[in-house]
Amino acid sequence: MFSFHSIEEYHRFLDANPDGCQVAVRHYLSRIEENKSLNAFLEVFAAEALERAKWLDEKRRSGGARGKLHGVVVALKDVLSYKHHRLSAGSRILENFTAIYDATVVEKLLAEEAILIGRNNCDEFAMGSTNENSAYGNVLNALDPSRVPGGSSGGSAVAVQAGLCMVSLGSDTGGSVRQPADFCGILGLKPSYGRISRYGLVAYASSFDQIGIFGTNTPDIALVLEVIAGADDYDSTAAAHPPPLPRPEELEAGKGHKFRIAFFKDALTHPSLDPVIAAQFETYFERLRADGHTVEGVDFEYLDYIVPTYYVLTTAEASSNLSRFDGVKYGYRTPDTGEDLTSFYKKTRSEGFGAEVKRRILLGTFVLSAGYYEAYFTKAQQVRKILVDRTSLLFNDFDIIILPTAPTTAFPIGEKKNDPIAMYLADIYTVYANLTGIPGISIPLFRHSNGMPFGVQAMTNRFKELSLLQFSHLMMQQYKSYENPTLCD
Ligand code: GLN
């Protein structure tokens, strides 16, 4: 019986098993089949994955050099372009669209010999926090199928949570990797803006979007990050010379480190925060202090501005990005072509987009409109700049900022579906990292009295993934009191 604990251990298993990649792929294919009701996959690349596993096994037998992700079984959020494969972004408007090129991250995964097992369900155009906005049905949380898995990368989170792949990629514009990781009891990293090329990622809000990684342990996350990060001629926002990423031995070295940690006082006393989570954070801070780290509450007067700022700026960017879906060049086209071009566009877009996407296009168009541009869009840009400046000052005195990842644990499906404001407000702790471009990770440390997991969100200064992953590694080894029962052998 195959079981997965880490890529390193899997690679040792492959040393001793000439058919190891095929064994792993068969294992995951049968687990995906058994867990179909979770709706985590929109498509499984079964035949192709098996064929690739066979090729990798043969390559190993013939003594060929191995890629860094040799045989690692990876799932992709359905917003990443994989040549000759469907790409729907969870939307009807792209239902029959086939990708014509590989995203840079896909190219890099393949070059290091990963096996891509399928594409994951997600909220339409990555807009949402529960996966209820997918045109292809909810994804269910494997720990409690009556609850949401989080979103928008819910399918990718559940794929790792339920042991349907080893690691997966998602995208995080305002928390879409960290929040579902939190709801599912796994690790979810959003790297610094500019760490990973966005080429081939379906754009939601381009100055916020970043590809992120789900996994079960820090070394796996660090390894995948090392593979997919880097400059790219096709994305000028991917940093040309970023500071280096951690090497495996550097993760261990972090264990002797005493971190200077800040938290926002208002965040921990915020009325939306579940009291059980708040109390656990108090205990956690005490333990960190007892272990020699410094933990200080700081005043951060902008907390209540970050969600409105995020929703003004991201909807503005989305309204522009999504204007390309017009039924002319590709994607869904209304059968009723009407009398003129304008009514053709209107019909195509009304029929092709779901309610949340329409809401955001309308909001974004409004905040960019001539009469309101200064009051909303310009103002929000100014707030973003203040946040960036304040954040870089904070990092003069601290290594890490800690916040909860989400104000509650995973909630029942349907609870917030018809209340967009409540849904947006729940992004209070995650959108900050996207507004400022800093990296953040959700670390699954605790279990709530309701049985569901919840994590700690750690953030560092921009491009300080080294210290972020060292901290994460330390937490996973010494502070984790939650064991995920769905990560079964
Ligand atoms: N929940 C946030 C939103 O709906 C985050 C989305 C994301 O990160 N893609 O905008």
- The model's pLDDT over 130-145, given as tens digits with 9 standing for 90+, comes to 999 999 999 999 999 9
In contact, 408 and 274? CB cutoff 8 Å:
yes
Q: Note if 77 is an active site residue.
A: yes
Which of 80, 129, 360, 425 gets mutated to test ligand 1 (max ligand atoms within 8 A of its CB)? 129
d(CA 389, CA 136): 41
Q: Note if 385 is an active site residue.
A: no
Q: Is residue 129 in contact with ligand 1, taking CB distance under 6 Å?
A: yes
**Higher-confidence residue: 103 or 481?**
103
Which of 120, 127, 201, 356 gets mutated to test ligand 1 (max ligand atoms within 8 A of its CB)? 127
Asked whether the predicted pLDDT for residue 465 surpasses 70, the reply is: yes
Which of 122, 132, 176 gets mutated to test ligand 1 (max ligand atoms within 8 A of its CB)? 176
Q: Is residue 126 in contact with ligand 1, taking CB distance under 6 Å?
A: yes
- The pLDDT score that the predictor gives to residue 50 is 98
Residues 113, 115, 117, CA angle at the centre, nearest 5°? 165
How distant, in Å, are the alpha carbons of 387, 486, 487 from that of 3? Answer: 44, 13, 10
Amino acid identity, residue 460?
T
Q: Which of 87, 80, 128 minimizes the C-alpha distance to 108?
A: 80
In contact, 119 and 170? CB cutoff 8 Å:
no
Residue 362 backbone phi and psi in degrees, to 5: -65, -45
Q: Which of 245, 247, 246, 285 minimizes the C-alpha distance to 264?
A: 285
- Percent of the chain predicted with pLDDT > 90: 94
Distance in Å, CA 130 to ligand 1 centroid: 9
486 pLDDT tier (thresholds 50, 70, 90): confident
Which one of 91, 134, 152, 197 is the catalytic residue? 152
Cα first-last separation, the chain: 8
Distance in Å, CA 54 to ligand 1 centroid: 38
Which one of 77, 108, 190, 416 is the catalytic residue? 77
Asked whether the predicted pLDDT for residue 9 surpasses 80, the reply is: yes
pLDDT, tens only, 318-340: 999 999 999 998 899 999 877 89
Residue with tokens 């750690």: 458
Atom of ligand 1 nearest to the CA of 311: 10
Q: What share of the chain is helix, strand, coil (3-state, %, to 5)?
A: 45, 15, 40
Atom of ligand 1 nearest to the CA of 153: 9
Side-chain half-sphere exposure of 436, counting CA atoms within 13 A: 27
d(CA 100, CA 332): 17
How distant, in Å, are the alpha carbons of 12, 178, 247, 287, 393 from that of 398? Answer: 39, 22, 23, 18, 9
d(CA 167, CA 357): 28
Atom of ligand 1 nearest to the CA of 426: 1
Q: Is residue 174 in contact with ligand 1, taking CB distance under 6 Å?
A: yes
Nearest-CA residue for atom 4 of ligand 1: 128
Distance in Å, CA 407 to ligand 1 centroid: 15
Atom of ligand 1 nearest to the CA of 314: 10
Nearest-CA residue for atom 5 of ligand 1: 174
Which of 123, 201, 306, 425 gets mutated to test ligand 1 (max ligand atoms within 8 A of its CB)? 123
Distance in Å, CA 467 to ligand 1 centroid: 26
Distance in Å, CA 127 to ligand 1 centroid: 5
Q: Note if 152 is an active site residue.
A: yes
Atom of ligand 1 nearest to the CA of 126: 9
Amino acid identity, residue 56?
L
Mean pLDDT of all residues in the chain?
96
Atom of ligand 1 nearest to the CA of 172: 8
Q: Is residue 173 in contact with ligand 1, taking CB distance under 6 Å?
A: yes
Asked whether the predicted pLDDT for residue 488 surpasses 60, the reply is: no
Distance in Å, CA 229 to ligand 1 centroid: 22
Distance in Å, CA 373 to ligand 1 centroid: 23
Q: Which of 156, 132, 194, 178 minimizes the C-alpha distance to 462?
A: 194
Distance in Å, CA 209 to ligand 1 centroid: 10
Asked whether the predicted pLDDT for residue 230 surpasses 90, the reply is: yes
Q: How many helices (H) and strands (E) does the chain have?
A: 17, 11
- For the segment 150-176, the average pLDDT, to the nearest whole number, is 98
Distance in Å, CA 431 to ligand 1 centroid: 8
Atom of ligand 1 nearest to the CA of 173: 8
DSSP state of 74: E
pLDDT, tens only, 356-395: 999 999 999 999 999 999 999 999 999 999 999 999 999 9
d(CA 430, CA 416): 18
* Burial zone of 298 (CB within 10 Å; 0-12 exposed, 13-18 middle, 19+ buried): middle
- The pLDDT score that the predictor gives to residue 487 is 64
Which one of 176, 197, 442, 467 is the catalytic residue? 176
- The pLDDT score that the predictor gives to residue 489 is 41
Q: Is residue 172 in contact with ligand 1, taking CB distance under 6 Å?
A: yes
